[in-house]
Amino acid sequence: MNMVRTDKAGTARAAALQALRFYAGPELLPLLHEEALGELHPVAWGRAMELLEPLADQNSIPILCQLLQRQENLTNEGVIRIAHAMVRIGDPKAVTCLEVLERATISKAVSAEARAAINLLAVPVA
User: Please, are residues 92 and 122 in contact by the beta-carbon 8 Å criterion?
Assistant: yes
- Positions in the chain short of pLDDT 70: 1-14, 16-24, 124-126
pLDDT at residue 43, as a whole number: 78
- What pLDDT sits at residue 20? 62
Rounded-to-integer distance, Cα 76 and Cα 79, Å: 5
| Half-sphere CA count of 19, side-chain side, radius 13 A | 10
DSSP per-residue codes, 38-49: H--SHHHHHHHH
Closest CA to 12 of 38, 41, 50: 41
Task: Mention every residue, 6+ apart, whose C-beta is less than 8 A from residue 34.
Answer: 5
Domain residue spans of the chain: 1-55, 57-126
Compute the distance between CA of residue 126 and CA of residue 122 in angstroms, rounded to an integer. 12
Angle between helices 108-121 and 95-104 (to 10 degrees): 160
pLDDT of residue 3: 44
pLDDT of residue 108: 95
Query: pLDDT tens, 48-71?
Result: 888 888 889 999 999 999 999 887
